[in-house]
Amino acid sequence: MKKIVSIFLIILFGAMSLAQGDIIEDLKQLGADNGKKYMKPFVTAFGSDLNSGWFSIAKTAPMSFGLTFNAMLAVVPDGDKTFIVHNPNPDLYNGDYEVTATVFGNNGAVFTTKDPLVVPNLFLPKGVDIKAVPLIVPQAHLGLPGGFEIEVRYIPPYEIKDMGKISFMGGGVKYQVSKLIPMLSTIVPIAIQGTYQQFKLGDDVTINSAFVNLHASRGLVILPLTIYGGIGYEHTTLEAKYTYTEPWEGGETEDVDFNITGDNNFRFTAGARLKILLLDVMVDYSVGKYQTVRAGVGFSI
């Protein structure tokens, strides 16, 4: 995999190379309007991944601690792999519009030139051609008195050649509201949670994501298995800043600065968590704009 997938996998566990190119250079081939359409599915998919894995049990305990590695996979609908792009210069190129790739699509559109002796055909950027977007995130939690718990996600900042500094951080607070009703807390623990995350890619792209949810869990009597589920509301935005130069002789240069809001909103999650001694294994499925699968493994005490 290349571009987006390569970028985020090397950030989160350093296993891949950026030799196949990067998303920023592709984005810089597009002006503001087309850049927004090209990147919109990325915001939704990345937000779907980021907002997965925040909970697997509603019960909190003072001074409890755990570390989990979450692997998420957001499925990209076929309808979000293309968009309609209008002819950027009808005086030079044929046609009114073409269907071209979003960041997750395949081949970019081609506007054929009206005079090949003056200007060549205009090729728009390709997508990464993937069906789902993976993400791996480490997460730690610490139980506090009074039914509270804090969660932290963090990757140390570092430099990537020709792209600048990469940074990622996130945090959340959970409160077990069912503690207000002791009998309910014993039967079905219920918690509310709020989280915030930020990812920065050099000086070009910043992603912010917020997530609030209400979730519950129930442990089985015989097996060390906990069933959990929840409903949440998520909001993800991307800000992009770059310089776009029109790809024909005498083309103007434009400083582009835009914000995109992903299509994420309500999501429903159901899953199961198996505990064997200190080892925790969990898997869940979230239904939202994009369907997302999360698998996690870690320990808790």
Residue ranges covered by each domain of the chain: 4-300
Q: Where are the beta strands (DSSP E) in the chain?
A: 65-75, 82-86, 97-101, 110-111, 122-123, 132-144, 148-160, 164-175, 190-201, 205-219, 225-245, 253-261, 266-276, 279-287, 292-300
pLDDT tens string 39-79:
999 999 999 999 999 999 999 999 999 999 999 999 999 99
Average pLDDT over residues 86-110: 94
221 phi and psi angles, rounded to 5 deg: -75, -45
pLDDT tens string 204-217:
889 999 999 999 99
Confidence check: pLDDT of 252 > 60: yes
**Can you tell me the distance from the alpha carbon of 283 to that of 289, in angstroms, rounded to the nearest whole number?**
19
Instruction: Note the CATH architecture for domain 4-300.
Output: Beta Barrel (2.40)
Q: What is the pLDDT of residue 11?
A: 45
List Cα–Cα distances, 284 to 30, 72, 163, in angstroms. 37, 10, 34
Confidence of residue 203 (pLDDT cuts 50, 70, 90): confident
Q: What is the pLDDT of residue 161?
A: 56
Q: What is the pLDDT of residue 25?
A: 82
Confidence of residue 200 (pLDDT cuts 50, 70, 90): confident
Confidence of residue 4 (pLDDT cuts 50, 70, 90): very low
- Where is pLDDT greater, at 84 or 155? 84
CB-based contact 263:280 (threshold 8 Å): no
